[in-house]
Amino acid sequence: MTAYKHALSRRLSRRLAVVGAITAGGLLLAACGGDDMEGMDHGSGASASATSTPTAGDNPAPGAFNDADVMFAQMMIPHHEQALEMAELADGRASDAEIKTLAADIEKAQDPEIRTMKSWLKSWGKPESSGESMPGMDHGSGGKDQGSGGMDHGSGMSGMMSEEDMKKLEAAKGTEFDRMFAEMMIEHHKGAITMAEDEQKNGRNAQAKKLAADVVRTQTAEVEKFEKILDRL
């Protein structure tokens, strides 16, 4: 019995040693696997972000880009900013329910697009003002005071309102404001649509071209709504 007990004890010791080794090896693999998976997660995350649609505050547009993409963002940012200024004037001045709704829709859509395009330019190493990178195409902060005629350089920022136009809109109220707002926004939207169509033709970056397509679709629909409003005012 004593010899048997000794043999049994030796077998149990060897078994425990094997189990211990397997357990240790499993922990080591798990640790290594965790590191590998972490790297894989970062990779897959980058891949997912490269194919996702940009939203407000999202990461910059991935992929190649060209001068047309840069110009589109640089010009559309101030164009959108003026649209927001116009939309904000509707508060306390507009009397038509549809005008109020459309003004709110414009703010909701274009503010996130501005932030998205600014993030693109930052990632591309380009300034927000096209005048800094493209001589002769100065559509910086001073551009709003020049009027649409002074800012239309080829496929430039057409549809922008002059400082005088903005003052007239600010001074209007009720039906007068509604009519003026609709007329100005139609012109403004058509200018944005023209720029977006240029980006669709000449741009290279997939996300920039997608945003351009969104601008064409949404603002074309809004132009039609504004035209119907003018017909009944």
Contact present, 99 and 90 (Cβ < 8 Å): yes
Tell me which amino acid residue 18 is: V
In angstroms, the CA 3 to CA 110 distance is 87
- Distances from the Cα of 193 to the Cα of 36, 156, 212, angstroms: 47, 12, 8
Question: What separation, in Å, do the N-terminal and C-terminal C-alpha atoms of the chain show?
Answer: 110
Q: Would you put residue 161 in left (φ > 0), alpha (ψ -120 to 50) or beta?
A: beta
- Percentage of the chain with pLDDT > 70? 62
Q: Which of 70-84, 133-147, 197-211 has the lowest mean pLDDT?
A: 133-147
Selected residue with higher pLDDT from 174 and 33: 174
**CA gap 130, 117 in Å, rounded:** 13
SS3 15: helix
In contact, 151 and 157? CB cutoff 8 Å: yes
Which pLDDT belongs to residue 74? Answer: 96
Measured CA to CA, the distance from residue 104 to residue 127 in angstroms comes to: 29
Q: What is the pLDDT of residues 187-221, one digit of tens each?
A: 999 999 999 999 999 999 999 999 999 999 999 99
pLDDT of residue 54: 41
Amino acid, res. 118: K
What pLDDT is stored for residue 158 in this prediction? 82
Between helices 174-202 and 163-171, what is the axis angle to 10°?
140
pLDDT level of residue 58 (50, 70, 90 thresholds): low
pLDDT of residue 99: 98
Residue for token pair 């001589």: 135
Return all residues near 110 (Cβ < 8 A) that are at least 6 apart.
80, 83, 84, 87
Residue 203, helix vs strand vs coil: coil
10 Å CB burial of residue 7 (0-12, 13-18, 19+) is exposed
Average pLDDT value for residue range 118-125: 95
CB contact at 8 A, 139 and 129: yes
Q: Work out the pLDDT band at 135, boundaries 50, 70, 90.
A: very low
Q: Which amino acid is at 89?
A: L
pLDDT at 82: 97
| Mean of pLDDT values over 143-166 | 60
Would you state the pLDDT for residue 11?
47
Task: State pLDDT tens for residues 2-18.
Answer: 444 444 444 444 444 44
Query: Residue 133 carries which side chain, given as an amino acid letter?
Result: S
Q: What is the mean pLDDT of the chain?
A: 75
Which range among 26-30, 80-84, 127-131, 159-163 shows the weakest confidence by mean pLDDT? 26-30
- With 60 as the cut, is the pLDDT of residue 25 above it? no
